[in-house]
Amino acid sequence: MRAELAAASAAPPRREAGLSLVAQARSGALGLAVPREHGGQGGRLADLFHHVADLARLSLPDAAAFAAQRQFIEVLLAARNAALREYRLPALLEASISGACGASWGAWAQAVPLVGRDTGRGWRLEGEVRATPNVGRDWFLLGAPLRFGAGGPAALVLLSSEQDGVGRHAEELPGYEGLQRARVPVSGVHFREDEILDDDGPALARAVVGVTAVLRGALAAGLARAAIGRIADTPLRLQQAEALRATIRQLEGLLDTRLPLTTAPEDERAGVLERLGAAAQNAVRLQGGDDEEFRRRALQAQGLSSL
């Protein structure tokens, strides 16, 4: 699969190069590290990391869409609502519908965008989910934190573009054209309790934080490697590029082994992701130039934290 991605680097524009989400689904890539009993390919998180990093080296917007879809798949795998998982997972694995999670895993207490109001005849939802990647223009599923009244942890609920009152407002991220990033206003949405993915959102966040770190780290590593490959052939810059490569290899090793574990300290995981993001920015800076490619990569490096 990695060889197929490498061959695509010399192909025509990215949507024709087999890098789109649908093309990746057809190759089985969305099923990497998904248990076979759930329709996936099996394998290790390291396989997923390297695939996303290779994809990001060729097209960061496509890789970001892939990462958002794959993270949402992981959310469904970890959620307590098995019936909802069995119903929705096949379409997500084949990318016939886009999926995204509008939760800020590290800040649940401050990042609960939706509230539920008991009308006596069911729940009505109100609020707005912040701009999130991979919110499809035509059909999407969205995981969103929701608080039912006061007290208790926030739940994670499933919204669909098919529901009346669920909107979509595009909010493009510079450098990531085609990512289908959007915020989702929610107004008067009738909600059934069987659409709760998990009634303990923070616990669900802890269950998927390792995979989320692997995906985010892979995006930064792929961008860094793409920029390093274009660094000018001068002794000083080549020396700096090799130092960056060594740093990236070290950080990738941590993501491959220790950090996917749910017991890894949050500050350690955050530190690795911050260093990978810095490595990507340094690599783009060393690449330099005044052409369109450099300007696009500079914008992408700045936007990594917004994915």
Residues 6+ apart with CB under 8 A from 196: 81, 155, 156, 157, 158
- The CA distance from 158 to 290, in Å, is 44
Could you say which architecture CATH assigns to the domain 98-200? Beta Barrel (2.40)
| Model pLDDT, residue 15 | 43
| Model pLDDT, residue 17 | 47
As a whole number, mean pLDDT of residues 162-175 equals 95
- The CA distance from 300 to 219, in Å, is 10
Under 8 Å between Cβ of 185 and 164: no
* pTM of full prediction above 0.95: no
**Res. 109: pLDDT tops 70:** no
As a whole number, mean pLDDT of residues 227-243 equals 82
| Model pLDDT, residue 1 | 54
- The alpha carbons of the chain give a radius of gyration, in whole angstroms, of 19
**Res. 76: pLDDT tops 60:** yes
| Model pLDDT, residue 111 | 62
**Res. 5: pLDDT tops 50:** no
- The CA distance from 143 to 201, in Å, is 10
Crossing angle of helices 201-228 and 292-303, rounded to 10°:
160
| Model pLDDT, residue 151 | 67
Beta strand pairing status for 98-101 and 140-148? parallel
What residue spans in the chain does CATH classification 2.40.110.10 cover?
Answer: 98-200
**Res. 32: pLDDT tops 80:** yes
